[in-house]
């Protein structure tokens, strides 16, 4: 006949054996272990704030994450969580901040806003996971102008922006090369001190319409008939016309 003490010891041994079997079953390669796999969709996401109101923009779900759970009784929830985490990480790595901000500006054409979050989201019916993008913008504030992300113009970056007339980059913008975009991102012009196409001369601030021999303010060389006595050019007179018999003809005195 089994007494109560023996019965307790038998149950204790049974429980220990059962726990040992379950423990060993959960170790890969030992005993009985199952693997459960689940999937999850991911998308790029941005959260932002305009006038203290928060918004969320989510791109199409085109990233696929998978997750597993192993053991004698694998957990579907853990597999799904791991899958959604993987999908969110994929989307976060692919997140293009400028592209997402332009999507925001398409919704809010002329506004000022602040970035709250940029990254990825993995989502299923049961689980949602987010992951931040690795390269978040240093400046969280941004501005939308006419439906596009506004960038403060930077002369010399090779992009024509804002009120710039040209920009070929800091290596090609020049204040000495003919016909080059100038270092202030302005087009070449008469009076910039560089002789460009269509100009005969250009001495910059020294261009003058009354000083003999000077390059004229229209970037033309001195010429007979400009009304200035350019004696270095052999003129003896210049009455501003080419009429004969008026005392000065072809910039020579008439007898």
Q: What is the pLDDT of residues 65-121, one digit of tens each?
A: 999 999 878 899 999 999 999 999 999 999 999 999 999 999 999 999 999 999 999
Average pLDDT, the chain: 88
Whether the per-residue pLDDT at 26 is higher than 60: the answer is: no
Integer CA distances (angstroms), 13 to 16, 43, 195, 231, in order: 5, 52, 102, 125
Query: For tokens 């079997």, what's the residue?
Result: 21
Confirm if 105 and 149 have CB atoms less than 8 A apart: yes
Angle, CA 212 vertex, CA 210 and CA 218 arms, to 5° = 55
Whether the per-residue pLDDT at 18 is higher than 60: the answer is: yes
- Which pLDDT score, from 0 to 100, does residue 241 have? 87
Query: For tokens 């204040």, what's the residue?
Result: 175
pLDDT tens-digit series, residues 46-70? 999 999 999 999 999 999 999 999 9
Whether the per-residue pLDDT at 24 is higher than 60: the answer is: no
pTM of the model: 0.55
Tokens describing residue 61: 């779900």
What percent of the chain shows pLDDT beyond 70? 87
Whether the per-residue pLDDT at 190 is higher than 90: the answer is: yes
Coil/strand/helix, residue 130: strand
Residue 45 Rama label (left phi>0; alpha psi -120 to 50; beta) = beta
CB atoms < 10 A from the CB of 172, how many?
13
Tokens describing residue 84: 């959604």
All residues at 6 or more sequence positions from 135 whose CB lies less than 8 Å from its CB, including other chains = 97
All residues at 6 or more sequence positions from 178 whose CB lies less than 8 Å from its CB, including other chains = 188, 194, 195, 196, 197
Question: How confident is the model over 201-214, as a mean pLDDT?
Answer: 94
Of 138, 154, 48, nearest in space to 102 by CA: 48
- Which pLDDT score, from 0 to 100, does residue 72 have? 79
């Amino acid at each position: 006949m089994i007494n109560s003490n023996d019965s307790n010891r038998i149950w204790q041994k049974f429980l220990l054996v059962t726990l040992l079997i379950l423990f060993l079953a959960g170790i890969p390669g030992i005993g009985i272990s199952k693997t459960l796999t689940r999937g999850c969709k991911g998308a790029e996401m941005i959260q932002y704030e305009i006038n203290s109101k928060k918004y969320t923009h989510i791109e199409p779900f085109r990233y696929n994450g998978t997750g597993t759970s192993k053991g004698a009784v694998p957990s579907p929830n853990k597999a799904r969580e791991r899958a959604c985490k993987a999908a969110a990480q994929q989307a976060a790595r692919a997140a293009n901040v400028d592209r997402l901000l332009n999507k925001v500006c398409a919704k809010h054409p002329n506004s000022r806003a602040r970035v709250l979050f940029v990254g990825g989201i993995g989502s299923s019916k049961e689980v949602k996971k987010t992951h931040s993008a690795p390269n978040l913008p240093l400046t969280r504030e941004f501005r939308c102008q006419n439906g596009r992300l506004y960038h403060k113009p930077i002369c010399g970056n090779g992009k024509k922006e804002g009120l710039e007339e040209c920009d070929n980059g800091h290596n090609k913008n020049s204040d000495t090369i003919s016909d080059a975009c100038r270092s202030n991102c302005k087009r070449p012009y008469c009076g910039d001190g560089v002789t460009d196409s269509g100009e005969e001369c250009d001495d910059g601030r020294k261009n003058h319409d009354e000083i003999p021999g000077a390059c004229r303010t229209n970037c033309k060389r001195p010429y007979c008939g400009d009304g200035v006595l350019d004696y270095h050019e052999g003129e003896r007179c210049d009455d501003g016309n080419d009429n004969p018999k008026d005392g000065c003809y072809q910039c020579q005195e008439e007898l």
